[in-house]
Every structure is written in C-alpha cells, then in structure tokens.
Structure 1
C-alpha cells in the first residue's frame, strides 16, 4: 500500500512537470518576442477560438501542403496536424532559430517540417521540398512593422506560391494587413476574433 507521503510526492512531481512544460512554452515565446519583437508581433499566443475560426474555411481533403509563417511555439501546429490528411505536409518557416529548435523537439509527426528561414523565400523553400505550390499559407506576421519593405515582398511571393483555389490566411491586430493582400488577391473574406489577447482581424485571401 502506498503511503500518503509517497502519494503526495507523486502528485507534486506531476504538478511540477506540467508547470515546467507550461512555463517552458511561455518562456520560449517570451524570449522570442524579446529577441525579435517586430517579427513576432505579440507577446501572447493566439487563443483556441482564433485558431478554430482561422482554420474553418480550409478544405482539408484537398490539402497536400499547408505552410505557416512565424509559427512561434506552435499554437496552430497541432490543430493543423489534427485536421490534415495522413499524406499531407505541414511546413513552418521562422527566422527565429529558438522557435525552430523548440518545434523540432516537440513535434515529432512525420508530416511536420520546420525550416529556419524567411517567408520571403517561400517559393524556393517549397520547391526544395519537392512541391510545386502550397494549398494554403497561414501568417500571423505583423506586416505593417516588418523591416526592409518585407511586407509587400512576402505578400507577392505568397501569391505566387499558392495554387489556384487555395488561400492566404492572415490574422493581425491591425486591419492594415489587408492592404498588403489587395494587390494579389481579388477576393478577401474578413473576420474578427474578439476572444483573443488582443482581439485580432482575420483575413482569407483566395487565389483565383
């Protein structure tokens, strides 16, 4: 029979383990924000409500390659993997090496590929992986504050990378993100995620 002291120790160890994993995620995210604030855009990961609403229009049965820019600690990664086909691929691209290392360690799914690089090079990256195009590309990058005129460049390269019928999924705190999409996507659906810290604008730019 297990003594009460042993049982208490076991419970405490479980609590410590869970707390370590939780604060470990937040620690990595906070560190990434401090190192690259204009690239991360927010100190708080997206809410589950935002994730669900953002991914709702995706046609998962016809998705072979899903790309995410700036995945952070992977808030969207597991929900995407849960929805994807067994033969599909999730490619995430981030300039922050700490995030990439964290994701490579924590996501061991064979469909998951994490690349340390720039979203501006998305076409070269997907071609190197053997794909001609992406079906959907998701981004939470803060377009209006990206340095070196990267916002328009990423928008243009993204439009080239997406197949006809696919979409560019964007969530931003500022509605100005839509301005970067307008030159390349004639149809843009709008949404809003109130239950998020901070509330954010949602856009779905469809490739004709």
Structure 2
C-alpha cells in the first residue's frame, strides 16, 4: 500500500494501524474489541494472576486435549503450552479471523492448532483433529451478551465434548453466566480474581 493510499484511508483505520504498530498484540486485541465487543467482552487481556488462578485446577499430567474458546491474541495460549504434555494438543477456536491469523503467525508449536469457527461446533472440530473428547475447555466468551441461543448451544456442546471428569473453565466479569452454566454443569467451583481489569469471576464446571 502506497503512502498516498494510506493517507486516503479513513482516520479510524489509520489510528488502528498506528496503534497496532505501537502496542503490538494489545493493539490487535483493542481492534478486536472495537469491531466485535459482543464476542470479545473485554478491553484488555487477562492479568497473569487471572491466568494462574484459572489454570490452577487443571490436572496437567492427565490432560491431552485442551480447548480454548475466544483465544484473542493468545494470552492463555502460551501459559497453557508451557504446562501441557509433550504429546498434548491445544485447539483454540475464534470467530475473529484477525486473531486466528495472528496466532498462526506467532505461535510455532506442533501441539497448537488455531481454528476459525464457532465454539458451538467444538465436537466436530475436536473430531477433525483426531480426538473423541477434550479433557478441559477454557472460555472467556461473554455468555450474557451473546446472540439468543448461542450461549446454550455452546454450553451443551461443551458438556458433550468433555470426557467424564473433565472441566469447563470459565472466566467472566459478572457472575450472571453461572445460572446458564449450572444447567449443564451441576457441580461448579467458584473463584474470584480482583487483580484484573475488570475484576474477574471464575467458574470451574465439572462433568461428572
């Protein structure tokens, strides 16, 4: 793209390009929030304390398949890969093609796969990677603002794809999603991380 073409771009587009250059993945995350606030649900990525607390319940020795919905710029991806077994698989699913392209470009690990698609299709996606079930599923999707019917469809598909004893790890910014979650996961452990923007409500739902 020439300098003349760049100058002719709308001001918001030029601002977002400059922001991405200046602040890297955070700029891309901000762009994703501006374009799809209903799907992203937060202005900045989760804190390191939130990541540690959310992942603290995972039995890594017995985790082969880990799935994440809405990975964004990979805030959880690298910590998960740091903990995951050498023969494990991390599958991330996002409806935002910009995030998927960024993750494919920046994470080079044979255990990692980024899929442009819907979390409601998790069963087909896991099967396409050669697995029958997932051990853990992680989600930061804003269930309370998703389009009608999407939240329940994702919850139901998640319960089906999890192995018995597996868990659905959900971090949100209100506790309202727990009412929906409890319809599919009767056993829910609750947590909270105040050192996050905004403070984070955590739920671990187990498939008995």
Q: Are the equivalent residues in 1 in contact too, given 2:97–2:116 (CA < 8 A)?
A: yes
Q: Using the TM superposition, give the Cα deviation of residue 136 of structure 1 relative to its aligned residue in structure 2, in angstroms.
A: 0.1
Question: In 2, distance between residues paired with 1:22 and 1:187?
Answer: 44
Q: Using the TM superposition, give the Cα deviation of residue 21 of structure 1 relative to its aligned residue in structure 2, in angstroms.
A: 7.3
Per-residue CA distance 1:8-30 (angstroms, 9 max, x = gap): xxxxxxxxxxx987711111101
Query: 2:27 matched to which residue of 1?
Result: 27
Query: 1:13 matched to which residue of 2?
Result: none
Q: Are the equivalent residues in 1 in contact too, given 2:173–2:201 (CA < 8 A)?
A: yes
Gaps of 5+ in 2: 1-18
Per-residue CA distance 1:17-55 (angstroms, 9 max, x = gap): xx9877111111011111111000001100000000000
Query: 2:176 matched to which residue of 1?
Result: 176
Task: Detail structure 1 runs of 4+ shifted over 3 Å in the superposition.
Answer: 19-22
Q: Using the TM superposition, give the Cα deviation of residue 177 of structure 1 relative to its aligned residue in structure 2, in angstroms.
A: 1.2
Gaps of 5+ in 1: 1-18
Query: 1:135 matched to which residue of 2?
Result: 135
Say whether residues 1:110 and 2:94 are aligned partners.
Answer: no
Matched residues, number: 190
Q: CA 1:204–1:102 in 2, change beyond 3 Å: closer, same or farther?
A: same
Say whether residues 1:48 and 2:48 are aligned partners.
Answer: yes
Query: 1:101 matched to which residue of 2?
Result: 101
Question: In 2, distance between residues paired with 1:108 and 1:170?
Answer: 26
Query: 1:9 matched to which residue of 2?
Result: none
Query: 2:80 matched to which residue of 1?
Result: 80
Say whether residues 1:65 and 2:90 are aligned partners.
Answer: no
3-state secondary structure, aligned to 2:92: strand
* More displaced stretch, 46-55 vs 20-29: 20-29
Per-residue CA distance 1:49-94 (angstroms, 9 max, x = gap): 0000000010000111000000000000010000000000000000
Question: In 2, distance between residues paired with 1:22 and 1:138?
Answer: 29
State the Cα RMSD in Å: 1.3
* More displaced stretch, 174-183 vs 105-114: 174-183
Indicate the structure (1 or 2) with the bigger Cα radius of gyration. 1
Question: In 1, distance between residues paired with 2:200 and 2:140?
Answer: 10
3-state secondary structure, aligned to 1:73: coil
Q: Give the TM-score normalised by the residue count of structure 2.
A: 0.89
3-state secondary structure, aligned to 2:179: helix
Q: Are the equivalent residues in 1 in contact too, given 2:63–2:84 (CA < 8 A)?
A: yes
3-state secondary structure, aligned to 1:50: helix
